Structure 1
């Protein structure tokens, strides 16, 4: 039975979370079970296991499930604060697909990760900021504490609602503040459907993160 298979796979992941060679195939099999109707709520056992690898595996599964992960959104704030960078990385994708106005505080947590120490997490947040809907950005900005990230988030929302000023984007792209540069790169990505000029400028940025993002976004592999 499907439930039996899913339960067995969760037990295997918990028992062998120290062994990546075992966890990988079991996680892939569990993903197939979840797509076939195995209850996504059963991933709570992994998320609350206290085992970092098991939590990482469950968060990866949620990131792969798209909208099927929506019932687990209450779990995501803790994942965004997890000490494992990979957990935070995968959790951002879950919010991009499933976060809406009632999840404003969770979206705000994602925006706050724009200052994360991990390059991969910041990269994921940059993709989130470039891809999120205006409603998602507005919900997150409204739930941020006053400060630089809130200022940048509100600026990004205004770009969607007002005629954008390319000079303001360029000034931030070339400025000294790494958070402002990240939000400006996201703005360049958001505006690229109408004009790729800002992204083309960002390809020559000194900031390697910004340069790599612009190259990838222009290639269409965002």
Structure 2
């Protein structure tokens, strides 16, 4: 465990948080240290630094760590509510990999970001909705306030248990409600192992996040 090296890298990131030419290499080196056993909890120093750039770097590191980020799940709710769209974007990935039933309120936060003003965040949430386990969606939906997003989440869950009607998915995908279109695109992704037709239709969507998601999912790169 390279404790001294990891500590030095964190200090370098904090001291030069707005210098990309310094932070980029330092973050990559710190990621290697984390993989080699440097305690992930030490990222709290960046997450609570009050510096948005340092917080963004730390959240990116968590998103790259996969299951190694699990000990930091208590930090994620604040990151999902962070003013920086990039921080919210990276935080969603941490929940996808590490979210469990006991993290229902945090998963609900992710689902609510389906209405986020930022296209990139909505795109990441769309990927989450398409890839999340049924158990994750159930835990999140149970913690959503009554309203359209909860209804859409429960509809998406039902598709995992009932024979889906492609016409219903298509109607939502072509409908006037942008959030319903996003959930329909997620449904198309979840159903694409058996039939890619709906996802191929989504490639022509006007919504940028839906169009690029469908392209990415079909190519297997999401």
- TM tier, shorter chain? over 0.9
In structure 2, what is the equivalent of residue 136 of structure 1? Answer: 136
User: 1:44-193 to 2 correspondence within 5 Å?
Assistant: 44-193=44-193
Post-superposition offset of 1:201: 1.4
- C-alpha distance in 2 between matches for 1:50 and 1:209: 30
Instruction: Output one character per residue of 1:75-108: Cα deviation in whole Å (capped at 9) or x when no partner.
Output: 0000000001000000000000000100000000
TM-score, normalised by the number of residues in structure 2: 0.98
In structure 1, what is the equivalent of residue 16 of structure 2? Answer: 16
Post-superposition offset of 1:207: 2.5
Moved over 6 A (4+): none
- C-alpha distance in 1 between matches for 2:166 and 2:202: 12
Whether contact under 8 Å (2:120, 2:209) holds in the other structure is no
- C-alpha distance in 1 between matches for 2:107 and 2:13: 29
- C-alpha distance in 2 between matches for 1:209 and 1:81: 20
- C-alpha distance in 1 between matches for 2:92 and 2:43: 17
TM-score, normalised by the number of residues in structure 1: 0.98
3-state secondary structure, aligned to 2:160: helix
**Paired residues, what number?**
222
| Structure 1 residue ranges without an equivalent (≥5) | none
Post-superposition offset of 1:202: 1.3
Post-superposition offset of 1:50: 0.3
Post-superposition offset of 1:167: 1.0
Post-superposition offset of 1:215: 1.5
- C-alpha distance in 1 between matches for 2:211 and 2:193: 18
Instruction: Output one character per residue of 1:46-101: Cα deviation in whole Å (capped at 9) or x when no partner.
Output: 00000000000000000000000000000000000000100000000000000010
Instruction: Output one character per residue of 1:126-148: Cα deviation in whole Å (capped at 9) or x when no partner.
Output: 00000000000110000000111
RMSD over equivalenced CA pairs, Å: 0.8
